[in-house]
Structure 1
Amino acid sequence: MKQYKVTLYIGSPNDTRQIDSDYLSKIRTWADAHLEATTMLRGTGTWHGTSEDTILLVHIADSPIEDKHIGELKRILNQECIMVECQEVDIQFI
């Protein structure tokens, strides 16, 4: 059975470049509504040459996340874009 690892690279609010608990809560609420299981990692990224806080949201599933759901998250967070990395993977639970 095909499985997919989908990683969303989510930038911080455009005005602060920092991620606070309210912003994280919006991401968690969206993820809980659309995804069965996720892992969230904090990082630092750059966008147009400016450094900012970043969240990597990793999800494993039988199908990629629908674009309309990612578009919804983009609107909720008021982001210009969210980078999506989708890979077919072989997952084992041992």
Structure 2
Amino acid sequence: MRTRARITVYLALITAAAMAACTRVPELEDRLTPDLRNAPYPKLLPLDRTLAPLASPAVANEELEQQLDARAARLQRRAEALRNAEF
């Protein structure tokens, strides 16, 4: 009997969620101006023409390594300056 009650509760929750998903939201729909509402959909472009090609992993790894080495050197210089500072 408990499993039947659980199934009933689950079905009620699913039904409520489905009904809420179909609800009209006037706050969002009424914000569109008439010219936007009647505007045509924009053209869809293939992603391979719109996105820049990614660098190869070897090149990206080399660039990241250079950036990290430069950052480490800056931090080492800063730490040395703090060690030598007189307070």
TM-score by length of 1: 0.19
Higher normalized contact order (CA 8 Å, seq sep 6+, divided by chain length):
1
TM-score by length of 2: 0.20
Q: Which has the higher strand share?
A: 1
Work out which of the two has the higher radius of gyration on C-alpha atoms and give 1 or 2: 2
